[in-house]
Structure 1
Amino acid sequence: MTIQTTRRTLLKGAAATSMALVIGMRADGSFAAASGVAHMNPFVSISDDGVVHVILKHFEMGQGTTTGLATLVAEELDADWNRVAIHFAPADNERYKNLFFGAQGTGGSTAMANSYMQYRQAAAAARAVLVQAAAEAWNVPASEISITASMLKAGNNRAHLGEMAAKAATLTAPENPSVKDPSDFRLIGLDHLPRKDSHLKTTGLATFALDVKLPGMVYAVLLRSPRFGGKLTSFDASGANSVPGFIGAKALPTGGAIAVYGKNTWAAIQARDAITADWDFSAAENRSTDELADYHRSLLDAPQFEAVEGADRAATEAAVAAADTVIEAELNFPFLAHAPMEPLNCVIEPTENGIRVHDGCQFPGAVKPTLAHILELDPANVEIRTVFAGGSFGRRATTNADYQAEAALAFALLGRKTPVKVVWTREDDIKGGYYRPMFAHRVKVGLKDGRIAAWDHRVAGKPIIKGTPFESLVMKPGSQVDATSVEGVNDSHYAIPAMSVGLSDAETPVPVLWWRSVGHTHTAFAMETVVDQVAEALGKDPVAYRLELLSGGDKDQKRLAEVLKLAAEKAGWGKPAAGRHQGIAVHKSFSTYVAEVVEISVTDGAVKVEKVTCAVDCGTAVNPDVIRAQMEGGIGYGLGHVMRNQITMTDGEVDQFNFPDYEPLRITDMPAVEVHIVASSEAPTGVGEPGVPPVGPALANAIYAATGTRVTQLPMTENGIAFA
Structure 2
Amino acid sequence: MQITRRGVIGGAAIGGALVVAWWALPRNYPNPLTAARGEHVLGAWLKVAEDGVVTVAVPQLEMGQGITTLLPQIVAEELGADWRQIAVEPAAAAAAYPNTKLAERWIGLWDPLAAGLSETSDAVLAERFATSKAFTATADGTSLVAYEMPAREAAAAARAVLAMEAAERWGTTWEECEVANGIVSWGDNRATFGELAVGAAEQSPPDPPPLRPEPSSGNLAGNDPDVPDINSPPRIDLPSKVDGSHRFAGDVRLPGMVYAAIRHGPNNGSELTDFDPDGARGISGVVGVVRNKRWLAVAATTWWAADRALQAMVPQFKTDFPVNSDDITARLDTLLSSGDSFKIAETGFGEEAMTRVDMARRYEVNAFHAAPVETASAVARYTDGRLELWIASQAPEQARSAAAKAVGLSIEDVALYPMSAGGSFDARLEHDHAIEVAQIAKELERPVQLTWSRREEVIRSRPSAPVYTLIGAQLAGGDEGGQTSGAIDALKLRVATPPSTHEFGKRLFDNLTPWAAIRETTGQKDALALEGAVPAYELPSVTVRHIPVETGYPTGRVRGNAHIASAFGIESFVDEIAEASGREPLSYRMSMLGSDVRLAACLQRAASLAEWGGGQDQSGQGLACYRIGDPETGGRIACVATARRGEGGLRVARLAAAVDIGRIVNLDIARQQIEGGLLFGLGIALGHSPVMRGGLPESFEYADFGLPKLADCPEVIVDFLPSAARTVDPGELGAAVVSPAIANALFSATGLRLRRLPLLSGGL
Do both proteins adopt the same fold according to a TM-score greater than 0.5, normalized to the shorter chain? yes
Q: Is the 8 A contact 1:584 1:596 kept in 2?
A: yes
Deviation at 1:332, TM superposition (A): 1.7
Residue 204 of structure 2, aligned match among 172, 183, 190: 172
Kept in 2, the 8 Å contact 1:335–1:648? The answer is: no
Q: Give the equivalent residue in structure 1 for 2:680.
A: 637
1:421 counterpart residue number: 449
1:265 aligns with 2:276: no
1:280 equivalent among 298, 311, 318: 318
Name the residue aligned to 1:476. Answer: none
Give the partner amino acid of 2:410.
D
Deviations 1:41-75 (A, max 9, x none): 11111111111111001121100101100110010
Equivalent pair of 2:366/2:757 in contact (CA under 8 Å): yes
Q: Against the structure 1 CA distance between its residues 120 and 418, is the aligned structure 2 distance closer, same or farther, given a 3 Å change threshold?
A: same
- C-alpha change, 1:639 and 1:78, in structure 2 (3 Å) is same
1:37 to partner: Cα distance: 0.8
2:468 is paired with a residue whose SS is strand
Q: 1:562-577 maps to which residues of 2 (within 5 A)? A: 562-574=601-613
Shift of 1:586: 0.9
Amino acid at match of 1:129: V
**Does the Cα contact within 8 Å between 1:312 and 1:500 map onto a contact in 2?**
no
| Local SS of the residue matching 2:235 | coil
Q: Which residue of structure 2 aligns with residue 323 of structure 1? A: none
Distance 2:371 2:503 in 1: 25
Residue 198 of structure 1 is aligned with which of 230, 238, 252?
Answer: 238
Instruction: Give 2:251's aligned residue.
Output: 211
TM-score (norm 1): 0.89
Number of the residue aligned with 1:404:
434
Q: Note the C-alpha offset of 1:108.
A: 0.9
Higher mean displacement: 499-508 or 149-158: 499-508
* Aligned-partner Cα distance in 2 for 1:118–1:404: 30
Helix, strand or coil at the partner of 1:668: helix
2:702 is paired with a residue of what secondary structure? coil
Q: Which amino acid aligns with 1:42?
A: A
Give the equivalent residue in structure 1 for 2:578. Answer: 535
Is 1:512 the counterpart of 2:555? The answer is: yes
Question: Shift of residue 303 of structure 1?
Answer: 3.6
**Residue 467 of structure 1, CA deviation:** 4.7
Q: Are 2:345 and 1:308 aligned?
A: yes
**1:459 corresponds to 2:499:** no
Instruction: Give the structure 1 partner of residue 63 of structure 2.
Output: 61
Matches within 5 A, 1:169-568: 169-182=201-214, 190-226=230-266, 228-252=268-292, 255-282=293-320, 284=321, 286-301=322-337, 302-309=339-346, 315=352, 318-320=355-357, 326-351=358-383, 353-398=385-430, 401-414=431-444, 417-449=445-477, 450=485, 451-467=487-503, 469=505, 480-489=524-533, 491-551=534-594, 553=595, 557-568=596-607
Deviations 1:91-145 (A, max 9, x none): 3244454543221111111111211111111101110111111000111222331
Cα distance in 2 for residues equivalent to 1:281 and 1:371: 25
Q: Give how far 1:499 is off.
A: 2.5
State how 1:86-165 maps to structure 2 within 5 Å.
86-97=88-99, 99-101=101-103, 102=130, 103-165=135-197
**8 Å Cα contact 2:81/2:180 also seen in 1:** yes
Conservation of the 8 A alpha-carbon contact between 1:21 and 1:36: no
CA gap of 1:146–1:578, structure 2 versus 1, over 3 A, is farther
The answer for unaligned runs of 5 or more in structure 2 is 1-5, 18-31, 104-129, 220-227, 478-484, 510-522
Offset at 1:263? Answer: 1.8
What SS class does the counterpart of residue 41 from structure 1 fall into?
A: coil
Q: Quote the Cα distance in structure 2 between the aligned partners of 1:466 and 1:67.
A: 32
Residues 210/662 of structure 1: CA separation in 2 closer, same or farther (3 Å cut): same
For the residue of structure 1 that corresponds to 2:389, the secondary structure is strand
Give 1:5's aligned residue: none
**How do 1:608-623 residues align onto structure 2 when only pairs under 5 Å count?**
608-623=651-666
SS at structure 2 position matched to 1:232: strand
Cα gap change, 1:509/1:256 in structure 2, threshold over 3 Å: closer, same or farther?
farther
* Counterpart in the other structure of 1:7: none
Measure how far apart 1:181 and its partner are. Answer: 1.5
Q: How far has the Cα of 1:314 moved from its partner?
A: 7.0
Output the CA distance in 2 between the equivalents of 1:596 and 1:221: 43
Q: Do 2:336 and 2:547's aligned partners in 1 also have CA atoms closer than 8 Å?
A: yes
Identity of aligned residues (%): 31
Q: How far apart are the structure 1 equivalents of 2:373 and 2:461?
A: 16
Task: Show CA shifts across 1:580-629 (max 9, x none).
Answer: 52111111125321111111233348332111111111111000000000
Q: 1:31 to 1:204 in 2, by over 3 A?
A: farther
- Counting only pairs closer than 5 Å after superposition, residues 649-664 of structure 1 correspond to structure 2 as 649-664=692-707
Output one character per residue of 1:696-721: Cα deviation in whole Å (capped at 9) or x when no partner: 10000000011111111221221323
Q: Is contact 1:19–1:169 with CA below 8 Å preserved after alignment?
A: no
d(CA) in 1 for partners of 2:659, 2:397: 31
Higher mean C-alpha deviation, range 337-346 or range 402-411 = 402-411
Question: 1:570 Cα deviation (Å)?
Answer: 2.0
